[in-house]
Amino acid sequence: MRRIVLFGVSLFLHLGFINAPKSTYSKEIKKAYLQTSQPIRVNWKTLAQINEGRNYSPLHNKWVLKAEFSEAIKKLDNKEIVIEGYLVPTDVTGDTYVLSSQPFSSCFFCGGAGRETVMELNLSRNYLFITDDVKTFRGKLKLNNSPYELYYLLENAELISE
């Protein structure tokens, strides 16, 4: 009698799993996990992997620089990242900052570095920083190829190191 019950239960389970519709549950979990996973730690060496080309702009009637981002950088577009750098104020009120791979004296604005060495910060709230403070931020990286703006923008940037 015990064998018959065990056979019946195993047959029921076996037939139930064979005829059951394929579940996408594991795919949904994986997708949700990937969406909520930790931000990617990025360094300036990775962001330097660009080639700059000159393109003619008929709108402005002049040649302008345009970035050709590496595949590694393209994969970071619209991703949550963490990056450390030097803070450089870009307005007299001190409300707007860029994050630089180098201190103010040798940054893009004052030294010989390129636009790939700085990142515009779109801060999640108001902060007051001192020039050349070294801080770490978390936010969503946006790639930009406008000749009149920086190549990198960190949206909704949050300070994660004091």
* pLDDT tens string 117-156: 999 999 988 888 888 999 999 999 999 988 778 999 999 9
Q: Look up the pTM and report it.
A: 0.71
* φ/ψ (deg, to 5) at 79: -105, 150
Q: Which helix (H) or strand (E) holds 61?
A: none
What does the domain layout of the chain look like in residue ranges? Answer: 40-159
Q: What is the mean pLDDT of the chain?
A: 78
Alpha-carbon dihedral 48, 148, 61, 49, rounded to 10 degrees: 10
State the fold for domain 40-159. Answer: OB fold (Dihydrolipoamide Acetyltransferase, E2P) (2.40.50)
